Amino acid sequence: MPSISALTLSITGPPAGSPLTLDVSYSAKFSAIERFLADNGLGFEERIQIIGDDPGEATDLVLHTFPSQMIVLAPGELVVNRSRQITVPRGSLNEDPGGTGTPFPLPNVDELFARLEIHYAGLISGPSRADSAVKSILVV
């Protein structure tokens, strides 16, 4: 499976009340064998999820899934740099509802990360998988 490096999640947008843009960027390095197989019809499928991070994996919540895309290797190419964006409503990233404080509760900080998987298209195998660093935002 290709190796994944430099996986990052960026969150941009106005400070409040508007949609946010999620940008996932990474590099994928393919082996010479994968390059040969790609030249002979093997495909690679990219799957990206935005996940709300909570203690323990059982409580993590998938908040958004990017549409799957095929990764196309140019002739001779072994390393592919990719960047994908999706714009989402700000409130859809609120993975920690509620808050603390009186008389007006303050919202909780939300922790998000991107999960990337690269699968061989048309073959049954385990994916290459990587998680970005967790980003904290305050969804108001």
pLDDT digits (tens, 9 = 90+) for 116-125: 999 988 766 6
Q: Please check whether residue 60 is in contact with residue 54, taking contact to mean a CB–CB distance below 8 angstroms.
A: yes
Q: Please check whether residue 1 is in contact with residue 30, taking contact to mean a CB–CB distance below 8 angstroms.
A: no
pLDDT digits (tens, 9 = 90+) for 103-115: 666 667 788 999 9
What is the extent of the structural domain holding 126?
A: 3-138
pLDDT, residue 137, reads 85
Beta bridge partners of 79: 29
Question: Where are the extended beta strands (E) located within the chain?
Answer: 3-12, 20-29, 43-52, 61-65, 69-71, 79-88, 99-100, 106-107, 109-121, 128-131, 135-138
Asked whether the whole model's pTM tops 0.85, one would answer no
Distance CA 68, CA 45 (A): 7
pLDDT digits (tens, 9 = 90+) for 37-80: 888 888 999 999 999 987 666 678 899 999 999 998 888 899 99
- Name the residue among 106, 104, 102 with its Cα closest to residue 138: 106
Domain count, the chain: 1
CATH number, position 17: 2.60.40.10
Distance CA 77, CA 68 (A): 21
Instruction: Name the residue with higher pLDDT: 45 or 99.
Output: 45
